Structure 1
Amino acid sequence: MGYLFYDLESTGLLPCFDTPLQVAFLQTDSEHRVQRELALRCRLPHHVVPSPDALLVTSVTPTMLDDQPLSHMEMMAQIARAMADSRPAMLIGYGNLRYDDEVIRQSFFQTLLPPYAGAMTGHGRADVLTMLRAVIMLEPDAVAVPRRPEGKPVLKLGDVCRANGISLSEDAAHDAFADVLATRDLFRLLQDRAPTTMATMLSHAKKSGPNRLMAGDDPVILGGISRLVPVAPFIGSPTNPNARTVIDLREDPSGLLNLQAPELLALIRSGRSAVRQVKTNAQPILFAWDQAAHALVEPQPLSVYSDRARACWDHPTFTRQLSLALEGRYADREPSPWVDEQLYSGGFISNADAAACERWHQQPWDMRAGFAAQHIQDSRLRSLAIRQVFLNAPEVLSRDAWSRGQDWLRHRLTTADEVPWLTLPKALARCKELEATADSASRPALDAIKAWLVARREALGPDEAASVERGPAMAPA
Structure 2
Amino acid sequence: MSFVFYDTETTGTSTDFDQILQFAAIKTDADLREINRIEMRCRLLPHVVPHPAALKVTGMSIARVTDATLPCHYEMMRAVRSKLLEWSPAIFIGYNSMRFDELLLRQALFRTLHEPYLTNTSGNCRADVLPLVQAASQFAPECIRVPRGENEKAVFKLDQLAPLNGFSHENAHDALADVEATIHIARCVRDRAPDCWRRFIQFSSKAGVNGFIAQESAFVVTEFYFNRPYHFVVAPLGSDPDNTAAHLCFDLKHDLDWVASLGDCDMVAWVNASPKPVRKVKTNAAPSLAPIGAVPSSFPGNLSACMDGPS
Q: With structure 2 as the length reference, what TM-score do the two structures score?
A: 0.89
Q: Distance in 2 between matches of 1:195 and 1:82?
A: 30
Measured after TM superposition, the shift of residue 228 of structure 1 is 2.1
Measured after TM superposition, the shift of residue 267 of structure 1 is 4.9
Give 1 or 2: higher strand fraction.
Answer: 2
Measured after TM superposition, the shift of residue 131 of structure 1 is 0.8
The alpha-carbon distance between structure 1 residues 111 and 252, as it changes in their structure 2 partners (threshold 3 A), is same
1:183 maps to 2:186? no
1:250 maps to 2:249? no
Measured after TM superposition, the shift of residue 217 of structure 1 is 5.9
SS at match of 1:3: strand
Counterparts of residues 138-287 of structure 1 (less than 5 Å): 138-169=139-170, 172-216=171-215, 218-225=217-224, 226-259=229-262, 264=267, 267-269=270-272, 271-287=274-290
Deviations 1:250-279 (A, max 9, x none): 233555445566655555555333111111
Counterparts of residues 307-456 of structure 1 (less than 5 Å): none
CA contact (8 A) 1:219 1:233 kept: yes
The alpha-carbon distance between structure 1 residues 79 and 295, as it changes in their structure 2 partners (threshold 3 A), is farther
Amino acid at match of 2:245: N
* Amino-acid identity (%): 34
Q: Distance in 2 between matches of 1:129 and 1:84?
A: 24
SS at match of 2:233: strand
The match for 2:291 is 288
Larger Rg: 1
- Which structure 1 residue ranges, 4+ long, deviate > 6 Å from structure 2? none
Q: Distance in 2 between matches of 1:93 and 1:203?
A: 16
Gaps of 5+ in 1: 306-477
Q: Distance in 2 between matches of 1:155 and 1:91?
A: 20
CA contact (8 A) 1:135 1:194 kept: yes
Gaps of 5+ in 2: none
SS at match of 2:152: coil
Instruction: Count residues with an aligned counterpart.
Output: 300
The match for 1:137 is 138
The alpha-carbon distance between structure 1 residues 149 and 16, as it changes in their structure 2 partners (threshold 3 A), is closer
Q: With structure 1 as the length reference, what TM-score do the two structures score?
A: 0.59
The alpha-carbon distance between structure 1 residues 51 and 256, as it changes in their structure 2 partners (threshold 3 A), is farther
The match for 1:115 is 116
Give 1 or 2: higher helix fraction.
Answer: 1
CA contact (8 A) 2:118 2:124 kept: no
The match for 1:397 is none
Q: Distance in 1 between matches of 2:100 and 2:196?
A: 24
SS at match of 2:136: helix
1:48 maps to 2:73? no
Measured after TM superposition, the shift of residue 229 of structure 1 is 2.1
SS at match of 2:45: coil
CA root-mean-square deviation: 2.1
CA contact (8 A) 1:253 1:274 kept: no
